[in-house]
Amino acid sequence: MTTDATPPVPPHKTFDTILVLDFGSQYTHLITRRLREFNVYSEMLPCTAKLADLDFTPKGIILSGGPYSVYEEGAPHVDHAVFDLGVPILGICYGLQEMAWHFGKNAGVAAGEKREYGHAHLSLQQHGGHVDELFKGLDSDIEVWMSHGDKLSHMPEHFVTVAQTPNSPYAGIAHSDKKMYGIQFHPEVTHTPQGKVLLRNFAVDICQSRTDWTMGKFVDQEIARIRSLVGDKGHVIGAVSGGVDSTVAAKLMKEAIGDRFHAVMVDNGVLRLNEAKQVKETLEKGLGINLTVVDASDLFLDRLAGIKDDPEKKRKVIGNTFIDIFQQKAKEIAAAAHNTPSAGEIEWLLQGTLYPDVIESLSFKGPSQTIKTHHNVGGLPADMNLKLIEPLRELFKDEVRALGVELGINEDLVWRHPFPGPGIAIRILGEVTREQVRIAREADHIFIEEIRAAGLYRNISQAFAALLPVKAVGVMGDKRVHDQVIALRAVETSDFMTADWYPFDGAFLKRVSRRIVNEVNGVCRVVYDITSKPPGTIEME
């Protein structure tokens, strides 16, 4: 079984921390993200967290939004000790309603007659003293973003109104003595243009948090943490894919424990063109990482043969084969490591888990389901007995990129588009054969090459060529052909939850189409996918 490691000095013990308690809003992680943007460290826990279980005292607490209604039976409620802790509290949307529900003795919140989604104009009311601090420096009339159906029907005792919209007379409230604030709108989304100022007012001025969370400090601290965790004899193994997360995690391990970190790259036969070679070059030569490349492409491709129209089956075959190979390699590396003077059994597995994955595992989903086990590399078998080490588990994707830059990883790699674990197998709709892999790879390579040449790579979040399982008629050199169809897909997104297709100009698409049809044997047509997510997904399978 993989077990999670308890860090010796977690960041919340070193940095002033704002604790965000999550009631299940889609935007909770953005609150944490925004605070870190102005160098205040923040962590998120499920709203059911018990204060007595914390090993630190936060500088302030934010109660997030959520899909429930406080007055419903079974609605989540925060540990009441939160209100007696004596640190400032900010309730956002459901969080505001939760505060009002608590101080209003389970009354004062009801279903509103009018739901309020989208933009609203907020006007502020000044009272003097700490009550005004939340909106300090903001215009008296600001645009905010709303997403609620319930509203406060009356004010709990000791609170005053500090902001209102035409639809919400209590859109902002503050306790007259204590530093407690509630707002009905969402300051964490970009649609509330001055939201960040408000969050800063709360964290820095009201909670008096230091603004000293920086990537440089994170690196030093993380290296020290890894060293004390692993000891001076321990070995760590980890899979690398050439993607930004695994590369950054591997580089951090290299800095911390040198060659006692063993990176394994499995060539599954469905990587991008020249990818295995490139990854080897970058990681081994460029970053000095102790890397073993296993070419298992034949095994993967043999096992994929015959799977025609069940994408899930493809994913499973690839996942299971990966585990077989990785496990085998881990045994060999452990045996070799055992014979060296600094030997020890390999007892640690590196994983590039990011904060959004952790959040997903921790989120409030119902009283009996607070914590799910973390995803690991396709579920490694119990008898591997590895302990997890997750140096990126407190970071968001763009923070991982900043960390990559800090560690001297080159920009091209740091800004690489995400690539799925099952590789281009799920971009080949239909059966994955060596010939189909060739076609999909070559077409993809041309598309990405042109995107880079046009200077568009960073404007696009993810782009690839997919091979459709149909044939079309074409005419090439006066000859009738009956060949395959490539579908290009390129999307823009900030969080990969929703995405829109990229509006290339016609000349660009013409160029890509002409090159693919001319240069890739077996393709006679190119189409561009103009489906957003939802209803589409980013990948096609």
Sites of contact with ligand GLN (CB under 6 A): 25, 65-69, 93-94, 147-150
Beta bridge partners of 4: 388
Q: Residue with structure tokens 């016609």? A: 506
What's the one-letter identity of residue 199? L
Query: Around Cβ 350, how many Cβ atoms within 10 Å?
Result: 26
Render 409-444 in DSSP notation, one character per residue: --HHHHTPPP--TTGGGGGB-S---HHHHHHHHHHH
Query: Is 3 part of any known ligand binding site?
Result: no
By beta carbon distance, the residue nearest ligand GLN is 65
DSSP state of 194: T
Cβ 398 to ligand GLN, closest distance in Å? 24
CB of 79 to ligand GLN, least distance (A): 19
CB of 186 to ligand GLN, least distance (A): 7
Q: Which is nearer to ligand GLN, 152 or 174 (CB)?
A: 152
Are the beta carbons of 450 and 488 closer than 8 angstroms?
no
- SS3 at position 505: coil
246 labelled ligand-binding = yes
What is the closest distance, in whole angstroms, from the C-beta atom of residue 422 to ligand GLN in the complex? Answer: 35
Q: Is residue 446 helix, strand or coil?
A: helix
Q: How far is the CB of 180 from ligand GLN (least distance, A)?
A: 17
- Residue 445 annotated to the active site: no
Of 103 and 300, nearer to ligand GLN (C-beta) is 103
User: C-alpha angle 525/526/528, rounded to 5°?
Assistant: 150
Please identify, using beta-carbon distances, which residue of 76 and 269 lies nearer to ligand GLN: 76
Choose, from 130, 186, 235, 262, the residue flagged as catalytic: 186
Residue closer to ligand GLN, measured from CB, 75 or 509: 75
382 by Cβ neighbours in 10 Å (0-12 / 13-18 / 19+) ranks as exposed
Angle between helices 434-453 and 506-519 (to 10 degrees): 150
Q: Is 127 a catalytic residue?
A: no
Name which of 287, 521, 511 is nearest 407 in CA terms.
Answer: 287
Q: Are 210 and 15 in contact (CB under 8 A)?
A: yes
Q: Which of 188, 394, 442, 450 is catalytic?
A: 188
In one-letter notation, the amino acid at residue 320 is: N
Of residues 27 and 464, the one with the C-beta less far from ligand GLN: 27
523 labeled binding residue? no
Please give the order of strands across the beta sheet that includes 387-389: 3-4, 387-389, 346-350, 235-239, 261-267, 291-295
φ/ψ of residue 535, rounded to 5: -85, -15
Paired residues of 499 in beta bridges: 533
Decide whether 93 or 279 has the Cβ nearer to ligand GLN.
Answer: 93
Is 14 annotated in a binding site? The answer is: no
Q: How far is the CB of 93 from ligand GLN (least distance, A)?
A: 3
Asked if residue 361 belongs to a known ligand binding site, the reply is no
Annotated binding site for ATP: 241-247
Residues annotated in the binding site, as ranges? 241-247
Q: Among all residues, which ones are annotated catalytic?
A: 93, 186, 188
